[in-house]
Amino acid sequence: MTCLIKIRSLRENMSANEKKLADFVLENTGLIRDYSSQQLASAVGISQSSVVKFSQKLGYRGYPDLKMAIYESLSHEVTSTTNTAAGGASLRQKNAEELLFGLKQEAIETTVALNSKEKFDQAAGALRRAERVQVFGAGLSGLAARSLAYHLMLTGKAVVNEAEVLVQLAQADGLGKGGVFVVISETGEDSDAVALTQRAKSAGATVIAICRCGTSPVSLLSDIVLEALVDRGQTNLSSLLLAAAQQHLVDILVSRFN
């Protein structure tokens, strides 16, 4: 059952305030991406805590998870609808795309605010001074890793970005004190990412980690940690939003490096 269907089906058994929220969401689905929990509460005329409780009653950890679920629900309706009216389908598609854009923007803005200017300066400075750079990305984070490696190569840096983990392990052993190892991981707990970080650290290299906010094996081993903050939800959009946030951190590093 999608989020919007769930709201429609549960509406009759909701309290007065919950019905106000449900009606506002159902009638203004495409606008939800622009509303914080406080703004939504003000628009409906209820308290912010009521918005949080409403989200939890629907089975979500909080309001950010509800927003992501609404996007998924919109996407489902666009792809599964039997309504062939081109205008209606086009509008729903536009709403879904706008909500996704809003969620990405929110993830990026939160992530940037989480990391200090000093952190970015330290990471960019380490890359600038490095005699050699090795970059590894696990899973979806591999896209950001390849982007960083490519841009560093364009500056003339000696960069290693192998897909094969065994090759990466051998390369990490030779990094030395003049080298920098950049590890980009969604969780900071991926076994390959941890093993490579340990090897690079043992070789004397400076380690820069770009991973999800919070303590992890990779972050504990690293000298400089840039964190991406995306709510762990029940939706598969979480990984997509984290990848977008990590890519933005890479873009900032590249801009500061140049």
- Cβ–Cβ under 8 Å, residues 158 and 132: yes
**How close are the terminal C-alpha atoms of the chain, in Å?**
48
| pLDDT confidence of residue 131 | 92
* pLDDT for position 128: 93
**What is the per-residue pLDDT for 75?**
63
- Cα(64)–Cα(62) distance, rounded to whole angstroms? 6
Which pLDDT score is estimated for 81?
A: 46
Q: What is the token pair recorded at 157? A: 């840096």
Question: Which residues on neighbouring strands pair with residue 225, listed in sequence order?
Answer: 209
**CATH of region 3-103, choose from 1.10.10.10, 1.10.510.10, 1.10.760.10, 1.10.3720.10:** 1.10.10.10
pLDDT of residue 154: 92
Q: What is the pLDDT of residue 136?
A: 95
**What is the model's pLDDT at position 234?**
41
Residue with tokens 């903050």: 229
Q: Where are the domains of the chain?
A: 3-103, 115-257
Report the top-level CATH class of 115-257.
alpha beta
pTM for the predicted model, two decimal places: 0.66
Q: Are 96 and 71 in contact (CB under 8 A)?
A: yes
Task: List the chain pLDDT tens, one digit each, 258 residues.
Answer: 578 778 887 888 889 999 999 999 888 887 787 788 888 889 899 988 888 889 888 888 888 888 888 877 766 555 544 444 445 555 555 566 777 787 788 788 878 888 889 999 999 999 999 999 999 998 888 999 999 999 999 999 999 998 889 999 999 999 999 999 999 998 899 999 999 999 999 999 999 999 987 789 999 999 999 998 765 554 567 788 888 999 999 999 999 876
